Amino acid sequence: MTRNLLTLIGKELRSLLADPILILLIAYMFTGMVIAMSQSNTDIRNAAVAIIDEDRSPFSRRLADAIRPPYFRAPAYIDREDADAAMNRGDYVFILEIPANFERDLLQNRAPEILLNIDATRMNQGGIGSAYLGQIFTREIRATLNTPAAAPPVQPVIRTRYNPNAENAYQMPVTALGNAILLLLLLLVGAAVIREREHGTIEHLLVMPVTASEIMLAKILANGLVILIASTGSLLAVVHGLIGVPINGSLSHYLLGTATYLFSIASLAIMIATLTPSLQQYSLLMLPLFIIMNLFSGATTSRSNMPELARALSEYWPSTQYAIYSQSVIFRGAGLHELWPQLLIMGIAGILFLGLALIRFRKMLETQG
């Protein structure tokens, strides 16, 4: 069995490495896409602000000076009659209206109002930026009234762990790495099965002294090995080396978890491929599956924000467990004594998918035969 399996693995590797388009796709997914995701910052940066200053007082000038990069661009001054058109064009995320005699009314305790218009279609900038502007506004009010903020009776000691500067660039490359693993493995393994059937090469395998389980394992091991090497290289060279994300855990733990995840996803891909007669139909099943597994995994959005039914349905998916596992190893330095449940769930899912795939694969071979 070992000799036959090695022969089939070599055949799969030669077939994969002979396709330059697939090689370029793998290279891009583990380099270009990971780098691009690290630049997709959800923090507020350079938000456009306009000010309608009808007060023209020292307070309004100090407030404008306090709105500065990197969070905001230098404010632009506009007239009230131009404000609606500017918001409709999307020129500004925030338009601050300071009414006439604002500083005078403030000093006389008349509780004047200041209006902040927000373009809420820029959800991240609008939400976070309004909080920043509120802090700036409060600080300038206190400075004008000479009323320093009262110190709280207890001062908390804040310790930010795993991502000291709260940089979004730490999270996104690791997320992109998991997405690339999931998408490429679904594509490569499923396409390998269907390509054998469409090109008629499955008949050549049927006359060889190999079993259905050997054919399946060869496809899983060959494609999984390529993705494992590519993802590990991307983690070390791109995520850690180029982007600068620290790897706090053991590389061997990462390899073990990734290999287990690859096994479960590759088995799932073979099972789906045996249910579809053509590559086009496989793609129609694969893409929605990838999107759903990615969205519900918790890699990009917190699972605590999801509906209870969605959390319950996706709790034991391999993608959900791998998101927990990889982030715990890379960011928190967790060990196997903490992460064995994730390994166990991914392994059981892989065995279950493999069993179902083997049943379907044997039926497919019988049909071809």
Same domain, 89 and 125: yes
| Within a domain: 363 | yes
> Could you say which of 86, 113, 145 is where a domain stops?
145
Q: CA-to-CA distance for 329 and 92, rounded, in angstroms? A: 41
Q: CA-to-CA distance for 193 and 361, rounded, in angstroms? A: 9
Same domain, 110 and 178: no
Q: What's the domain count of the chain?
A: 2
pLDDT for the residue 192: 85
Same domain, 312 and 185: yes
> Could you say which of 114, 145, 176 is where a domain stops?
145
With CA atoms as reference, report the closest residue to 318 among 271, 251, 362, 277: 271
Same domain, 116 and 10: no
Q: Is the CB of residue 58 less than 8 Å from the CB of residue 189? A: no
Same domain, 131 and 195: no
Does the pLDDT of residue 236 top 60, yes or no? yes
Same domain, 313 and 199: yes
Confidence of residue 155 (pLDDT cuts 50, 70, 90): low
Does the pLDDT of residue 61 top 80, yes or no? yes
Q: What pLDDT digit, counting tens, does each position of 239-293 carry?
A: 999 988 888 889 999 999 999 999 999 999 998 988 888 888 888 888 889 989 9
188-194-195-200 Cα dihedral, nearest 10 degrees: 160
Q: What pLDDT digit, counting tens, does each position of 67-109 carry?
A: 988 889 999 999 989 988 888 888 998 999 998 998 888 888 8
Same domain, 221 and 295: yes
Sign for the CA dihedral angle at 203, 354, 320, 243 comes to: negative
Same domain, 60 and 20: no
| Within a domain: 38 | no
With CA atoms as reference, report the closest residue to 323 among 186, 174, 184, 219: 174
With CA atoms as reference, report the closest residue to 238 among 35, 52, 74, 13: 35
Same domain, 189 and 239: yes
pLDDT for the residue 266: 94
Q: What are phi and psi of 224, to 5 degrees?
A: -65, -40
pLDDT for the residue 106: 84
Confidence of residue 171 (pLDDT cuts 50, 70, 90): confident
Does the pLDDT of residue 363 top 70, yes or no? yes
Same domain, 324 and 190: yes
With CA atoms as reference, report the closest residue to 298 among 319, 313, 312: 319
Q: What pLDDT digit, counting tens, does each position of 317-361 carry?
A: 999 999 999 989 998 888 888 899 999 999 999 999 999 988 887
Q: In the numeric block, which tokens belong to residue 288?
A: 């929605």
**% of the chain at pLDDT higher than 90:** 31
| Within a domain: 44 | no
pLDDT for the residue 160: 60
Higher per-residue confidence, 237 vs 363:
237
| Within a domain: 40 | no
| Within a domain: 154 | no
pLDDT for the residue 51: 92
| Within a domain: 237 | yes
CB atoms within 10 A of CB 340: 10
| Within a domain: 354 | yes
Confidence of residue 168 (pLDDT cuts 50, 70, 90): low
What is the CATH classification number for the domain harbouring 68? Answer: 3.40.1710.10
Same domain, 64 and 195: no
Q: Is the CB of residue 94 less than 8 Å from the CB of residue 49? A: yes
- For residue 288, give its domain range: 2-30+167-368
| Within a domain: 150 | no
Q: What are phi and psi of 250, to 5 degrees?
A: -80, 135
Confidence of residue 41 (pLDDT cuts 50, 70, 90): low
Q: What is the mean pLDDT of residues 12-30?
A: 89
Same domain, 86 and 140: yes
Confidence of residue 16 (pLDDT cuts 50, 70, 90): confident
